[in-house]
Structure 1
Amino acid sequence: MASETKPLDSFLSRGRNNEISLELRTAIVEAVNSGRKQSDAARDFNVSRQSVSRLIQRLKESGSVARSKRSGRPRKIVTARQTRAALRKARRELRASAQASGQQKTSSDSLAAPTATEAEQLGDANGLRTGVDGVENSATESTDGQARGAVSVNGEPMSQALEDLRSEIRSEMRSIRAGMQEMVSNINTVNDKVDALNRKLAISDRNSIARLQNSIISHDGVYLVPLYSPITGEVAHNYPSTLKHLDTFTASQVDALLTQLGEPGGGQPPTRKRQLYMALGITARVV
């Protein structure tokens, strides 16, 4: 009889050494957070002091009381259904063993009173049956409790915490996109300014060469080198072809050409005419 019940004893021992359930881990963490010492919490919940210490350390490192996945060879997972099936099998073996023992001791004409050894064996069998029932009920209640219990983060359901995290991520992404759009707009503005500056520099170089060439012209029939307008980037409109043509310009034509060349306005017509000569680079002719 002792050899038949040894596997069941090992099974019950393994049941007592199962890992701490999620509800129990949560209760231990709440007790420690409320000011309870780890040693007192271990004694209150009937677990080891090292288990409580590892649980608190895991909470600080990962922010969760759930057990992390172990590397290496995975352990075999025993479900509640497999546990109940094993318990039912052990119960049937106990009943069959008790019936076989009773049939061997029963005579055909009368029933003899059980001896002290038989009574002790029957008592052990009844005790084991009661232990099996208790373990089965405990496994069922633990499974149902874990199914009904919801994992929480800082007192909020996990689903709500995940939704809040998604909302924060979406808000941050919108802010990043707005910042990127503003950055692109600023870059485009800078590029436009750089392009305008390059255009003005190119026109200034062309006009400098044209003024240098016009500076040696002293005859009325020699063609003038045209200047470019820094405003339009094209050759100035109504540009005089020769010095003789320039002498026929009216005051309004002089002002219009000076405006195209980006020269400041104001002054009397003779002064404006002299300013136009200097802007075109004509220095060899006395005005």
Structure 2
Amino acid sequence: MKHLLWVSIACMLLTAPVCAEYGQTGLINVNVGDSPTGYTPPQPVTLFGCNNTVFKSSVSWGTKNQVVGDIPYGHAISDSGKPYFISQYYVASPPAYRGPDNKQYPFIGLVTPDRFIFKGERPAQIVDLDYRILRPTYLKDVPVDFNFKYNNKTCNEQKVTAIPINTECKNFPWNIGALGASGIGQLSHDGGRAFLPFLGDNVDPLQCNVTLLDDVVLAHEVYFYSAEGLTKTINLTALEGASKKGENIMNLVCMPRAADDTPAGCAAP
């Protein structure tokens, strides 16, 4: 399964609620293929790490060995005093559009890898982006509800306002005839949604699932609420179909972790 890049976010260059400095920093070396269109603005790249660590930068099309540095890495302490370690990151980048005023039928890119773990004294990671491998598709956003009440509590009330996701589409078409791709995005209370690709304009949706990546959520576990109960993965295609009937979709449930429970994405490698 190859990894596609998409994300809808609104964030600063770096946000992370901590009360201690990071011990070290890491860097990524980014190789970017040619733009699939004649429109070549800087292409955003965003990293999602533990405890709402969001690092945002941009790269140039058709350029290899672009170094992005000063990425947080190492020990940190949350506002509540819980120690954690920043080393695991998920990588995302938005679709490539055909122009500043033309966002129809965009190109989704492949990222390799779409997640990594920094290790060592001055860690680095190579990341490749290519937007010319997959067929362009139409995209339709599927909203999320951070104010859904479960046991009389909402995610917003518990200060869980964003979470990375992995979207996997088993029949995403390649230009060479292959099928299947996956990639990283983010759900957020202020506009971040999942996107469902369509082969036509609002027809022929791809078959896609979305999984919550709450191993970088320090203080809570996060679930989707469904008729079958709580789950980490949902059928995005079915949810989009339910939205046409006016049904609630993508309701999030947040449950506090035990004080001694440090998720894998927040532990030292």
More helix by share: 1
Larger RCO: Structure 1 or Structure 2 (Cα < 8 Å, ≥ 6 residues apart)?
A: 2
More strand by share: 2
The structure with the larger Rg is 1
TM-score (norm 1): 0.16
TM-score (norm 2): 0.17
